[in-house]
Amino acid sequence: MNKSAAQKVDPGPQSRNLQAVIVAAVRGLLGDAGQPLALHEPEFAGREWDYVKDCLDTGWVSSVGSYVDRIERDIASFTGCKHAIATSNGTSALHICLLLAGVDAGDEVLIPALTFIATANAVSYIRAVPHFVESEAVSLGVDTGKLDAYLQETAQIVNGVCVNRSTGAPIKALVAMHVFGHPSDLDALVDLAQRWKLVLIEDAAESLGSYYHGRHTGNFGRISALSFNGNKIVTTGGGGAVLTNDPELARRAKHLTTTARLPDRWNFLHDEVGYNYRMPNINAALGCAQLERLPAMLQRKRQLATRYQQAFATLDGARFLSEPPGTSSNYWLNAIVLDENLAAYRDDVLGALNDAGYGSRPVWTLMHRLSMYRDCPRMGLDVAEQMEARLINLPSSARLGG
Protein backbone atom coordinates (compact mmCIF):
# COMPACT_ATOMS: atom_id res chain seq x y z
CA MET A 1 0.00 0.00 0.00
CA ASN A 2 1.45 3.37 -0.95
CA LYS A 3 1.71 6.25 1.50
CA SER A 4 -1.14 8.33 0.07
CA ALA A 5 -3.51 5.35 0.20
CA ALA A 6 -2.49 4.59 3.78
CA GLN A 7 -3.23 8.18 4.82
CA LYS A 8 -6.64 8.33 3.12
CA VAL A 9 -9.39 8.38 5.72
CA ASP A 10 -12.93 7.14 5.10
CA PRO A 11 -15.21 10.13 5.78
CA GLY A 12 -17.84 7.87 7.30
CA PRO A 13 -21.43 7.01 6.36
CA GLN A 14 -22.95 10.31 7.52
CA SER A 15 -20.58 12.34 5.34
CA ARG A 16 -21.01 10.01 2.37
CA ASN A 17 -24.80 10.26 2.64
CA LEU A 18 -24.67 14.07 2.86
CA GLN A 19 -22.39 14.24 -0.18
CA ALA A 20 -24.69 11.94 -2.14
CA VAL A 21 -27.93 13.80 -1.43
CA ILE A 22 -26.44 17.25 -2.15
CA VAL A 23 -24.76 16.16 -5.39
CA ALA A 24 -27.99 14.44 -6.44
CA ALA A 25 -30.00 17.59 -5.74
CA VAL A 26 -27.63 19.73 -7.81
CA ARG A 27 -27.50 17.15 -10.61
CA GLY A 28 -31.29 16.98 -10.69
CA LEU A 29 -31.41 20.73 -11.15
CA LEU A 30 -28.48 21.34 -13.51
CA GLY A 31 -28.19 17.96 -15.23
CA ASP A 32 -24.99 16.00 -15.67
CA ALA A 33 -21.97 18.28 -15.93
CA GLY A 34 -20.49 17.16 -19.25
CA GLN A 35 -17.87 19.84 -18.76
CA PRO A 36 -17.12 21.42 -15.40
CA LEU A 37 -19.60 24.20 -14.57
CA ALA A 38 -17.97 27.38 -13.33
CA LEU A 39 -19.16 29.00 -10.12
CA HIS A 40 -20.07 32.17 -12.02
CA GLU A 41 -19.08 33.01 -15.57
CA PRO A 42 -19.73 36.10 -17.69
CA GLU A 43 -22.25 36.08 -20.51
CA PHE A 44 -21.62 37.98 -23.75
CA ALA A 45 -24.71 37.77 -25.93
CA GLY A 46 -25.50 41.37 -26.78
CA ARG A 47 -23.63 44.22 -28.45
CA GLU A 48 -20.32 43.71 -26.64
CA TRP A 49 -18.43 43.03 -29.89
CA ASP A 50 -19.95 46.08 -31.60
CA TYR A 51 -19.14 48.52 -28.83
CA VAL A 52 -15.59 47.23 -28.19
CA LYS A 53 -14.88 47.27 -31.94
CA ASP A 54 -16.10 50.88 -32.05
CA CYS A 55 -13.44 51.77 -29.44
CA LEU A 56 -10.76 50.02 -31.50
CA ASP A 57 -11.91 51.60 -34.75
CA THR A 58 -11.97 55.11 -33.32
CA GLY A 59 -8.90 54.73 -31.11
CA TRP A 60 -10.77 55.79 -27.95
CA VAL A 61 -9.61 53.02 -25.63
CA SER A 62 -8.28 54.85 -22.56
CA SER A 63 -10.00 56.64 -19.67
CA VAL A 64 -11.66 59.33 -21.78
CA GLY A 65 -14.45 58.46 -24.19
CA SER A 66 -18.16 58.39 -24.83
CA TYR A 67 -18.66 54.96 -23.29
CA VAL A 68 -17.24 56.10 -19.94
CA ASP A 69 -19.75 58.94 -19.87
CA ARG A 70 -22.52 56.61 -20.98
CA ILE A 71 -21.85 53.88 -18.42
CA GLU A 72 -21.94 56.45 -15.63
CA ARG A 73 -25.33 57.68 -16.85
CA ASP A 74 -26.60 54.12 -17.26
CA ILE A 75 -25.48 53.03 -13.79
CA ALA A 76 -27.05 56.08 -12.19
CA SER A 77 -30.29 55.50 -14.10
CA PHE A 78 -30.50 51.82 -13.21
CA THR A 79 -29.68 52.19 -9.50
CA GLY A 80 -31.57 55.44 -8.96
CA CYS A 81 -28.45 57.08 -7.52
CA LYS A 82 -27.93 60.63 -8.69
CA HIS A 83 -24.24 60.16 -9.44
CA ALA A 84 -22.00 57.28 -10.57
CA ILE A 85 -18.25 57.60 -11.12
CA ALA A 86 -16.69 54.73 -13.08
CA THR A 87 -13.44 53.34 -11.64
CA SER A 88 -10.79 50.83 -12.60
CA ASN A 89 -12.08 48.20 -10.17
CA GLY A 90 -14.27 47.73 -7.11
CA THR A 91 -11.38 47.98 -4.65
CA SER A 92 -10.37 51.40 -5.98
CA ALA A 93 -14.01 52.48 -5.65
CA LEU A 94 -13.96 51.40 -1.99
CA HIS A 95 -10.67 53.22 -1.43
CA ILE A 96 -12.20 56.44 -2.76
CA CYS A 97 -15.34 55.92 -0.63
CA LEU A 98 -13.21 55.76 2.51
CA LEU A 99 -11.24 58.86 1.55
CA LEU A 100 -14.46 60.77 0.91
CA ALA A 101 -15.78 59.59 4.28
CA GLY A 102 -12.88 61.43 5.92
CA VAL A 103 -11.03 58.34 7.11
CA ASP A 104 -7.43 59.16 8.03
CA ALA A 105 -4.38 57.12 8.99
CA GLY A 106 -4.86 55.68 12.47
CA ASP A 107 -8.65 55.88 12.38
CA GLU A 108 -10.71 52.73 12.83
CA VAL A 109 -13.33 51.51 10.37
CA LEU A 110 -16.01 49.00 11.34
CA ILE A 111 -16.25 46.24 8.75
CA PRO A 112 -17.70 42.73 8.85
CA ALA A 113 -15.27 39.88 9.38
CA LEU A 114 -17.41 37.98 6.87
CA THR A 115 -16.43 39.80 3.69
CA PHE A 116 -14.10 39.63 0.71
CA ILE A 117 -10.60 40.86 1.47
CA ALA A 118 -11.00 43.99 -0.70
CA THR A 119 -13.09 45.55 2.08
CA ALA A 120 -10.26 45.24 4.58
CA ASN A 121 -7.51 46.05 2.09
CA ALA A 122 -9.13 49.35 1.12
CA VAL A 123 -9.04 50.37 4.79
CA SER A 124 -5.37 49.42 4.96
CA TYR A 125 -4.52 51.55 1.91
CA ILE A 126 -5.27 54.62 4.03
CA ARG A 127 -3.27 53.13 6.91
CA ALA A 128 -6.46 53.02 8.91
CA VAL A 129 -7.38 50.03 11.09
CA PRO A 130 -10.09 47.49 10.24
CA HIS A 131 -12.29 46.84 13.28
CA PHE A 132 -14.16 43.59 12.68
CA VAL A 133 -17.82 43.19 13.58
CA GLU A 134 -20.37 40.37 13.76
CA SER A 135 -22.78 39.22 11.07
CA GLU A 136 -26.30 37.85 11.38
CA ALA A 137 -27.48 34.61 9.82
CA VAL A 138 -30.40 35.89 7.69
CA SER A 139 -28.70 38.33 5.30
CA LEU A 140 -25.09 37.57 6.38
CA GLY A 141 -24.78 41.36 6.79
CA VAL A 142 -23.73 43.33 9.88
CA ASP A 143 -25.70 42.43 13.02
CA THR A 144 -26.79 45.90 14.09
CA GLY A 145 -28.25 44.82 17.43
CA LYS A 146 -25.05 43.15 18.57
CA LEU A 147 -22.94 45.97 17.15
CA ASP A 148 -24.96 48.60 19.01
CA ALA A 149 -24.51 46.73 22.31
CA TYR A 150 -20.80 46.31 21.58
CA LEU A 151 -20.33 50.01 20.87
CA GLN A 152 -22.06 50.92 24.12
CA GLU A 153 -19.35 48.96 25.94
CA THR A 154 -16.43 49.84 23.67
CA ALA A 155 -16.97 53.37 22.36
CA GLN A 156 -18.11 56.82 23.35
CA ILE A 157 -19.02 60.04 21.55
CA VAL A 158 -16.46 62.79 22.19
CA ASN A 159 -17.10 66.19 20.60
CA GLY A 160 -19.29 64.58 17.97
CA VAL A 161 -16.80 61.82 17.14
CA CYS A 162 -17.11 58.12 17.92
CA VAL A 163 -13.97 57.09 19.84
CA ASN A 164 -12.71 53.66 20.87
CA ARG A 165 -12.39 53.76 24.67
CA SER A 166 -9.50 51.25 24.64
CA THR A 167 -7.34 52.60 21.83
CA GLY A 168 -8.39 56.24 21.85
CA ALA A 169 -8.69 56.10 18.06
CA PRO A 170 -11.60 57.70 16.24
CA ILE A 171 -14.03 55.22 14.68
CA LYS A 172 -14.94 57.08 11.50
CA ALA A 173 -17.03 54.79 9.31
CA LEU A 174 -19.12 51.65 9.10
CA VAL A 175 -18.91 49.57 5.93
CA ALA A 176 -21.96 47.40 5.23
CA MET A 177 -21.31 44.59 2.75
CA HIS A 178 -24.22 42.96 0.88
CA VAL A 179 -23.04 39.34 0.87
CA PHE A 180 -23.82 37.33 -2.30
CA GLY A 181 -26.15 40.15 -3.34
CA HIS A 182 -28.48 39.85 -0.32
CA PRO A 183 -29.22 43.34 1.06
CA SER A 184 -28.25 43.97 4.66
CA ASP A 185 -30.71 45.44 7.18
CA LEU A 186 -30.23 48.95 5.82
CA ASP A 187 -32.82 50.82 7.92
CA ALA A 188 -31.14 49.59 11.08
CA LEU A 189 -27.69 50.37 9.68
CA VAL A 190 -28.67 53.94 8.79
CA ASP A 191 -30.09 54.45 12.29
CA LEU A 192 -27.04 53.00 14.02
CA ALA A 193 -24.63 55.07 11.92
CA GLN A 194 -26.51 58.27 12.72
CA ARG A 195 -26.58 57.60 16.48
CA TRP A 196 -22.89 56.70 16.63
CA LYS A 197 -21.73 59.50 14.30
CA LEU A 198 -20.40 57.09 11.71
CA VAL A 199 -20.29 57.53 7.96
CA LEU A 200 -22.21 54.63 6.44
CA ILE A 201 -20.54 53.18 3.34
CA GLU A 202 -22.21 50.43 1.36
CA ASP A 203 -19.92 47.80 -0.10
CA ALA A 204 -22.41 47.00 -2.87
CA ALA A 205 -19.82 45.22 -4.98
CA GLU A 206 -22.01 42.11 -5.25
CA SER A 207 -25.48 43.69 -5.21
CA LEU A 208 -26.11 45.33 -8.58
CA GLY A 209 -29.80 44.60 -9.17
CA SER A 210 -30.67 44.09 -5.47
CA TYR A 211 -33.35 46.11 -3.69
CA TYR A 212 -34.19 46.87 -0.09
CA HIS A 213 -37.88 47.70 0.33
CA GLY A 214 -38.04 48.69 -3.32
CA ARG A 215 -34.96 50.91 -3.32
CA HIS A 216 -31.72 49.84 -4.96
CA THR A 217 -28.75 49.13 -2.71
CA GLY A 218 -26.14 51.88 -2.80
CA ASN A 219 -28.71 54.60 -2.05
CA PHE A 220 -28.62 54.27 1.74
CA GLY A 221 -24.98 54.95 2.57
CA ARG A 222 -23.48 58.38 2.17
CA ILE A 223 -21.33 56.80 -0.51
CA SER A 224 -21.15 53.30 -1.98
CA ALA A 225 -19.05 51.07 -4.20
CA LEU A 226 -19.89 48.66 -7.04
CA SER A 227 -17.71 46.05 -8.75
CA PHE A 228 -17.74 44.89 -12.38
CA ASN A 229 -15.12 42.18 -12.02
CA GLY A 230 -15.20 39.26 -14.43
CA ASN A 231 -17.27 37.13 -12.05
CA LYS A 232 -20.00 39.71 -11.44
CA ILE A 233 -23.45 39.79 -13.11
CA VAL A 234 -22.34 42.76 -15.22
CA THR A 235 -18.66 42.81 -16.07
CA THR A 236 -16.34 45.31 -17.67
CA GLY A 237 -13.45 42.86 -17.38
CA GLY A 238 -12.17 44.82 -14.44
CA GLY A 239 -14.00 47.85 -13.16
CA GLY A 240 -16.15 49.43 -10.50
CA ALA A 241 -18.07 52.55 -9.63
CA VAL A 242 -18.59 55.00 -6.80
CA LEU A 243 -22.24 55.82 -6.12
CA THR A 244 -23.55 58.81 -4.22
CA ASN A 245 -26.53 61.16 -4.05
CA ASP A 246 -24.31 64.03 -2.87
CA PRO A 247 -23.17 66.24 -5.78
CA GLU A 248 -20.10 67.53 -3.94
CA LEU A 249 -18.94 64.01 -3.07
CA ALA A 250 -19.47 63.03 -6.70
CA ARG A 251 -17.33 65.96 -7.87
CA ARG A 252 -14.59 65.01 -5.41
CA ALA A 253 -14.75 61.35 -6.44
CA LYS A 254 -14.27 62.21 -10.09
CA HIS A 255 -11.45 64.62 -9.27
CA LEU A 256 -9.57 62.14 -7.07
CA THR A 257 -9.94 59.28 -9.56
CA THR A 258 -8.60 61.48 -12.38
CA THR A 259 -5.21 62.07 -10.68
CA ALA A 260 -6.63 65.27 -9.12
CA ARG A 261 -5.84 67.11 -12.34
CA LEU A 262 -7.17 70.65 -12.73
CA PRO A 263 -8.83 71.64 -16.03
CA ASP A 264 -6.36 73.29 -18.41
CA ARG A 265 -5.87 73.29 -22.17
CA TRP A 266 -2.40 71.77 -21.99
CA ASN A 267 -0.71 72.16 -18.57
CA PHE A 268 -0.60 69.30 -16.11
CA LEU A 269 -1.71 70.91 -12.87
CA HIS A 270 -2.73 68.85 -9.83
CA ASP A 271 -3.90 70.25 -6.51
CA GLU A 272 -3.61 67.16 -4.25
CA VAL A 273 -2.56 63.53 -4.25
CA GLY A 274 -4.82 61.81 -6.75
CA TYR A 275 -5.28 58.36 -8.21
CA ASN A 276 -5.27 56.92 -11.70
CA TYR A 277 -8.53 55.10 -11.03
CA ARG A 278 -10.74 55.97 -14.02
CA MET A 279 -12.32 53.15 -16.01
CA PRO A 280 -10.92 52.88 -19.58
CA ASN A 281 -13.35 53.52 -22.42
CA ILE A 282 -12.87 50.03 -23.87
CA ASN A 283 -13.93 48.47 -20.56
CA ALA A 284 -16.87 50.85 -20.30
CA ALA A 285 -17.98 49.81 -23.79
CA LEU A 286 -18.19 46.22 -22.63
CA GLY A 287 -20.17 47.29 -19.57
CA CYS A 288 -22.65 49.38 -21.58
CA ALA A 289 -23.56 46.32 -23.64
CA GLN A 290 -23.86 44.24 -20.48
CA LEU A 291 -26.16 46.76 -18.79
CA GLU A 292 -28.52 46.61 -21.75
CA ARG A 293 -29.13 42.96 -20.88
CA LEU A 294 -29.07 43.23 -17.10
CA PRO A 295 -32.85 42.93 -16.51
CA ALA A 296 -32.99 39.69 -18.51
CA MET A 297 -29.96 38.26 -16.69
CA LEU A 298 -31.45 39.16 -13.31
CA GLN A 299 -34.69 37.42 -14.24
CA ARG A 300 -32.85 34.23 -15.17
CA LYS A 301 -30.76 34.34 -12.01
CA ARG A 302 -33.90 34.60 -9.90
CA GLN A 303 -35.37 31.66 -11.79
CA LEU A 304 -32.25 29.65 -10.99
CA ALA A 305 -32.44 30.65 -7.32
CA THR A 306 -36.09 29.56 -7.17
CA ARG A 307 -35.15 26.16 -8.57
CA TYR A 308 -32.36 25.78 -6.01
CA GLN A 309 -34.78 26.77 -3.24
CA GLN A 310 -37.24 24.10 -4.38
CA ALA A 311 -34.52 21.47 -4.74
CA PHE A 312 -33.32 21.99 -1.16
CA ALA A 313 -36.71 22.63 0.44
CA THR A 314 -37.14 19.04 1.64
CA LEU A 315 -33.50 17.96 1.74
CA ASP A 316 -32.15 16.90 5.12
CA GLY A 317 -28.82 18.37 6.16
CA ALA A 318 -28.76 21.68 4.30
CA ARG A 319 -30.94 24.68 3.55
CA PHE A 320 -30.92 27.21 0.74
CA LEU A 321 -29.91 30.77 1.70
CA SER A 322 -32.91 32.87 0.63
CA GLU A 323 -33.19 36.64 0.29
CA PRO A 324 -34.13 38.44 3.54
CA PRO A 325 -37.78 39.53 3.98
CA GLY A 326 -38.56 42.87 2.34
CA THR A 327 -35.73 42.57 -0.17
CA SER A 328 -35.19 41.48 -3.74
CA SER A 329 -31.76 39.90 -4.17
CA ASN A 330 -29.86 39.56 -7.41
CA TYR A 331 -28.74 36.13 -6.12
CA TRP A 332 -25.25 36.83 -7.42
CA LEU A 333 -24.05 33.61 -5.79
CA ASN A 334 -26.45 30.93 -4.65
CA ALA A 335 -25.55 29.36 -1.34
CA ILE A 336 -26.57 26.50 0.91
CA VAL A 337 -25.98 26.30 4.65
CA LEU A 338 -25.20 22.93 6.18
CA ASP A 339 -26.90 21.98 9.43
CA GLU A 340 -24.79 22.99 12.39
CA ASN A 341 -24.05 19.39 13.38
CA LEU A 342 -22.78 18.66 9.85
CA ALA A 343 -20.29 21.55 9.57
CA ALA A 344 -17.36 19.14 9.85
CA TYR A 345 -18.34 17.66 6.48
CA ARG A 346 -18.25 20.92 4.50
CA ASP A 347 -15.00 20.15 2.72
CA ASP A 348 -16.17 16.61 1.96
CA VAL A 349 -19.25 18.07 0.23
CA LEU A 350 -17.13 20.62 -1.63
CA GLY A 351 -14.88 17.84 -2.87
CA ALA A 352 -17.83 15.74 -4.04
CA LEU A 353 -19.46 18.67 -5.87
CA ASN A 354 -16.29 19.72 -7.64
CA ASP A 355 -15.41 16.11 -8.49
CA ALA A 356 -18.83 15.82 -10.12
CA GLY A 357 -18.14 18.93 -12.21
CA TYR A 358 -20.18 21.49 -10.26
CA GLY A 359 -17.90 24.44 -9.45
CA SER A 360 -18.46 25.18 -5.76
CA ARG A 361 -16.54 26.97 -3.06
CA PRO A 362 -16.67 27.93 0.64
CA VAL A 363 -17.20 31.50 1.78
CA TRP A 364 -14.09 33.65 2.20
CA THR A 365 -11.77 33.02 5.13
CA LEU A 366 -12.84 35.44 7.85
CA MET A 367 -10.69 38.55 7.92
CA HIS A 368 -9.47 38.15 11.51
CA ARG A 369 -8.01 34.74 10.64
CA LEU A 370 -5.62 36.25 8.08
CA SER A 371 -2.10 36.93 9.31
CA MET A 372 -2.07 40.65 8.48
CA TYR A 373 -5.38 41.28 10.26
CA ARG A 374 -5.32 38.88 13.20
CA ASP A 375 -4.28 41.62 15.68
CA CYS A 376 -6.97 44.10 14.64
CA PRO A 377 -9.73 44.95 17.13
CA ARG A 378 -12.87 42.85 16.91
CA MET A 379 -16.06 42.01 18.71
CA GLY A 380 -17.40 38.50 19.30
CA LEU A 381 -17.79 36.72 15.95
CA ASP A 382 -19.65 33.54 16.87
CA VAL A 383 -22.22 33.70 14.05
CA ALA A 384 -19.65 34.70 11.41
CA GLU A 385 -17.47 31.76 12.46
CA GLN A 386 -20.41 29.35 12.39
CA MET A 387 -21.49 30.52 8.94
CA GLU A 388 -17.94 30.34 7.61
CA ALA A 389 -17.86 26.67 8.59
CA ARG A 390 -21.21 25.82 6.96
CA LEU A 391 -21.63 27.89 3.78
CA ILE A 392 -21.22 26.46 0.29
CA ASN A 393 -21.66 28.45 -2.94
CA LEU A 394 -23.12 26.61 -5.93
CA PRO A 395 -22.97 27.31 -9.71
CA SER A 396 -24.80 30.60 -10.27
CA SER A 397 -24.26 31.77 -13.86
CA ALA A 398 -27.25 33.49 -15.46
CA ARG A 399 -27.29 31.04 -18.37
CA LEU A 400 -28.15 28.22 -15.96
CA GLY A 401 -31.50 29.86 -15.24
CA GLY A 402 -32.60 29.95 -18.86
Q: Are residues 131 and 89 part of one domain?
A: yes
**What is the SS3 assignment for 18?**
helix
What is the extent of the structural domain holding 118?
A: 48-292
Q: Are residues 181 and 65 part of one domain?
A: yes
pLDDT interval class at 82 (50, 70, 90): very high
pLDDT interval class at 1 (50, 70, 90): very low
Residues contacting 32, CB < 8 A, separation 6+: 357
Helix axes 281-292, 66-79, angle to 10 degrees: 40
Rounded mean pLDDT of the chain?
Answer: 96
Q: Are residues 126 and 19 part of one domain?
A: no
Q: Are residues 299 and 278 part of one domain?
A: no
Determine, yes or no, domain membership for 1: no
The CA distance from 147 to 133, in Å, is 7
Q: What is the pLDDT of residue 5?
A: 43
The CA distance from 22 to 34, in Å, is 18
pLDDT interval class at 8 (50, 70, 90): low
Asked if the model's pLDDT at residue 6 lies above 80, the reply is no
pLDDT, tens only, 162-213: 999 999 999 999 999 999 999 999 999 999 999 999 999 999 999 999 999 9
Distance spanning both ends of the chain, measured CA to CA: 48
Asked if the model's pLDDT at residue 3 lies above 80, the reply is no
pLDDT, tens only, 95-121: 999 999 999 999 999 999 999 999 999
Q: Report percent pLDDT > 70 for the chain.
A: 98
Determine, yes or no, domain membership for 4: no
Determine, yes or no, domain membership for 3: no
Q: What is the pLDDT of residue 33?
A: 86
Asked if the model's pLDDT at residue 399 lies above 50, the reply is yes
Average pLDDT over residues 270-288: 97
Asked if the model's pLDDT at residue 215 lies above 90, the reply is yes
Q: Are residues 342 and 193 part of one domain?
A: no
Average pLDDT over residues 281-300: 98
Q: Are residues 250 and 228 part of one domain?
A: yes
Q: What is the pLDDT of residue 34?
A: 85
Q: Are residues 274 and 305 part of one domain?
A: no
Determine, yes or no, domain membership for 196: yes
Asked if the model's pLDDT at residue 139 lies above 60, the reply is yes
Determine, yes or no, domain membership for 99: yes
Classify residue 80 as exposed, middle or buried by CB count within 10 Å of its CB (0-12, 13-18, 19+): middle
* Domain limit, last residue, from 254, 270, 292: 292
CATH number assigned to the domain comprising residue 395: 3.90.1150.10
Average pLDDT over residues 251-257: 98
**What is the SS3 assignment for 237?**
coil
Domain tally, the chain = 2
Q: Are residues 88 and 215 part of one domain?
A: yes
Q: What is the pLDDT of residue 2?
A: 42
Q: Are residues 245 and 102 part of one domain?
A: yes
Q: What is the pLDDT of residue 365?
A: 98
CATH number assigned to the domain comprising residue 114: 3.40.640.10
Q: What is the pLDDT of residue 9?
A: 62
Average pLDDT over residues 344-363: 98
pLDDT, tens only, 37-59: 999 999 999 999 999 999 999 99
Q: Are residues 307 and 194 part of one domain?
A: no
Query: Quick check: 357 and 36 in contact, CB under 8 A?
Result: yes
Please indicate whether residue 310 or residue 2 has the higher confidence score (pLDDT): 310
* Domain limit, last residue, from 257, 292, 327: 292
Average pLDDT over residues 3-17: 70
